[in-house]
Amino acid sequence: MDRNSILGIIIIAGILIGYTFLTKPSKEQIAEQKRLADSARTAELLNAELAKAKTADFDSLAKQLPEAVAENKEVDNETKLGVYASHAEGKTKFYTLENNKVKIVLSNEGARPYSVELKDYKTWDQKPLMLFQGDSSLLGLEFFSDGKSITTNDLFFETDEESDDIIVTEAEKSISFKLPVDTSGAYIQYTYTLYPDRYLLDFDVKMVGMNQYRTDNVQLKWEIYSPQQEMGRANELQYTNLYYRFNDGEVEKFKPRSKDSQDITETTKIQWLAFKQQFFSSVLISDVSPFEGGYMKMDPEPEGNEYIRKFSAELSVPFNRTDEFNMPMHFYFGPNAFQSLKRIGFKLEELVTIGGSIIRWINAYVVIPIFNFLDNFISNYGIIILLLTLIIKIALLPLTYRSYMSMAKMRVLKPQIDEINQKIPKDKAMERQQATMALYKKVGVNPMGGCLPMILQMPILYAMFRFFPTSIELRQEHFLWAHDLSTYDSILNLPFTIPMYGDHVSLFTILMTVTTIISMKMSGQTPGADTGMPGMKTMMYMMPVMFMLILNSFSAGLTYYYFLANVITIGQNYLFKYLVDEEAILRKLNSKKLKASTGKKSSFQQKLEDMAKQRGYKLPK
């Protein structure tokens, strides 16, 4: 180690010793630090003692807390509910009214229907069919009483019923729920009555002595979350809707295809309100006094949810502030069966979506009666649809024959039309058209003659389009490979979704498409490029393909009917082709053409002129 290193170490050591000496606390500072340390220790001990005291106090308070909370809640209920406060707390109990068709569970909390099961039906996955259950529904009166807002759905009613399960067999059974307001005898009472072998549930509301509490603005609030019952959610969604009927008889409904929330406020008197599913409905009917109007709303539920829509309504009860007010009503919890609803009355049959105007008339007075008649003798609905199709096609046979004859005339004239097209250039389209129409006029052929009979058949085709998807009779009925004629008959589930088409392959839809193309080709309904419209042939073939895309998720009963109609049409065309002599048709048309060209009168016209001449009449030119 050299001299400079030793000198550096000495300097550093000196600096450290000097820093230690300079920063050493004085005696006064050491005494102050000791005093502060003693104070901190004293404070720590004091905080520990205080913590023990607080814990003891908290334990003491905790023992008193339930009583304090309960007392505070009771005071809060009295503030909010007044004379109704004693019914704010209670034990929930359930009571059942049941017949051979429906099982209705009632709750004393709100005295409302808690669940409704239709015993003759199952969901698409074979679970019990519940129109609603649990907290997915709400029913209660809302009103102002002595300035307080009261909702009976939150109050506990009393009942004298001892049995929790009442089976309705030979006579009707009733359960009454009572809400005593005070000792003076004022009360609100709900009475439910179920009858044997019926889907109707009587619902009577009685309000006694309520006018003394300045009861006002009485509303009946009803809400239901509508669950998915069918396999095809998208198809079921189209038929799940809110209906209501005015007291003058008009039935209104919301837009079924809308994906947005819809609501409406009506001031006109309302007789009934229905929360309608595809095949089942929950309906509230005012028997004597209609509702004074109300607010109704329908909300969509997100994809993947077990519910499809949420229905809600607030209907104005015509409370007349008398000492005793009664409002008899009915609930209908049941299937959308056209004839059954029609027998109940109130125009409930309009809940069945079978079309409007002439389409509804065809379904109501032709299709449904024939269908129900066949249903009395045949249990297989595939056979019933086959017979129904045969009856309709036989009834339409004259129109079909007339359409075929018109098409046959057009076919035999085709060589002459081709000749006109060869003589007149394409750039003279108007001249071509005039020459073609002149030919039609000479031979007495209407180029639209084949279309008119087809147009007259369109209402029948559209009536079937409306009838099958909403026919409760087809629900969960098997036929061939279709396990349910009310929904699509999938033979292959795809691992992906095709826009407009879906994620499955329906066999009846494919058969319908193929037979439609064959039928069009046989009947000559596919005009080609020689008509001056080259794209028409492609368009005509595209129409069946478009229907295949649209109807792939529709009722198998519908596509099965269209398939059968096409097969019968093909058979009729073969029969007509065998019976109709097209050469004779051509000779007759050429004869008319010749007479028109030479000015020679027809035998019929000559006979008319001879008869007029004998009697001294002169026919106008």
One domain for residues 133 and 233: yes
* Residue 112, number of CB atoms within 10 A of its CB: 19
- pLDDT tens string 462-482: 888 888 888 898 888 889 998
One domain for residues 147 and 180: yes
- pLDDT tens string 274-287: 999 999 999 999 98
One domain for residues 499 and 595: no
Q: What percent of the chain has pLDDT over 90?
A: 26
The answer, yes or no, to whether residue 571 has pLDDT greater than 80, is yes
CATH code for the domain in which residue 283 is found: 2.70.98.90
One domain for residues 552 and 598: no
Largest CA distance in the chain: 167
CB 38 within 8 A of CB 30: no
Average pLDDT over residues 339-362: 88
10-14, 371-375, 483-487: which has the minimum mean pLDDT? Answer: 10-14
One domain for residues 219 and 332: yes
Amino acid at position 334, single letter: G
Report for 257-261, 334-338, 397-401, 456-460: range of highest mean pLDDT = 334-338
Write out the residue range of the structural domain in which residue 521 sits. Answer: 364-580
- pLDDT tens string 87-104: 888 888 899 998 999 999
Domain-embedded: residue 3: no
**Given the structure tokens 């003693």, which residue do they identify?**
38
The answer, yes or no, to whether residue 70 has pLDDT greater than 50, is no
| Residues 6+ away with beta carbon under 8 Å from 164 | 93, 94, 95, 96
One domain for residues 476 and 537: yes
Residue-level pLDDT at 241: 92
One domain for residues 597 and 552: no
- pLDDT tens string 161-178: 766 777 777 778 889 999
Average pLDDT over residues 549-573: 89
**Given the structure tokens 């005039």, which residue do they identify?**
434
The answer, yes or no, to whether residue 575 has pLDDT greater than 60, is yes
One domain for residues 386 and 491: yes
Residue-level pLDDT at 527: 45
One domain for residues 589 and 570: no
| Residues 6+ away with beta carbon under 8 Å from 303 | 233
Average pLDDT over residues 552-556: 86
Domain-embedded: residue 68: no
- pLDDT tens string 510-536: 999 999 888 887 765 544 444 445 555
Average pLDDT over residues 576-604: 69
What is the total count of domains within the chain? 3
Residue-level pLDDT at 397: 85
Average pLDDT over residues 167-192: 85
Rounded Cα–Cα distance for residues 381 and 44 (Å): 89
Average pLDDT over residues 370-389: 91
One domain for residues 233 and 113: yes
Mean pLDDT of the chain: 80
Domain-embedded: residue 308: yes
One domain for residues 403 and 500: yes
Q: How confident is the model at residue 58 (pLDDT cuts 50, 70, 90)?
A: very low
Q: How confident is the model at residue 135 (pLDDT cuts 50, 70, 90)?
A: confident
One domain for residues 289 and 192: yes
Domain-embedded: residue 519: yes
Average pLDDT over residues 376-398: 90
Q: 167: burial class by Cβ within 10 Å (0-12, 13-18, 19+)?
A: middle
